[in-house]
Amino acid sequence: MSYNRRMVPLFQKQQSYVLSCEAMIQFLDEVFAKLPKEKEDKIIEKLKVSVLTIPQLIAEAFCRKNLREIFESNINEAKSQCENAILLFHFLQENLSPYVNSLLVEDLISKYFQINQELDKNLGEVVYGQNQY
């Protein structure tokens, strides 16, 4: 089987996937890497897991787009992880403000809110056949 390098997997064209990868890299490079080791507790670990899981769930959902139940399940789980990340970023902003840039955290909150909206749009288009967004 030959591989066509010009073919891009469907999930890589999705705005939600692109944004989640950008936000993940930004979080890992500019927030997580700059936290002192003693501040890396369970909450930070939960945030890291959420941030790393979202792109994977989106990719898996779009790779199985033809299986509606799996697509819907993965998109809903990605939405749940986005909501979790937003809450944890608010916690991070309030409790670890000396270690993190407040504007950076606001930008990440905004990105995850936008990702969540994009996932709603994807869910409506694929599962419910709506194109109203």
Yes or no: say if 80 and 72 are a contact pair by the CB < 8 Å rule: no
What are the boundaries of each domain within the chain?
11-30+40-126
Tell me which fold the domain 11-30+40-126 belongs to. de novo design (two linked rop proteins) (1.20.1440)
pTM as predicted: 0.83
Strand positions, DSSP E, the chain: none
Residue 14 CA to residue 34 CA, distance in Å, equals 30
Structure confidence by residue, pLDDT tens digits, 67-103: 889 999 999 999 999 999 999 999 988 888 788 888 9
- Cα torsion for 117, 121, 124, 129, to the nearest 10°? 170
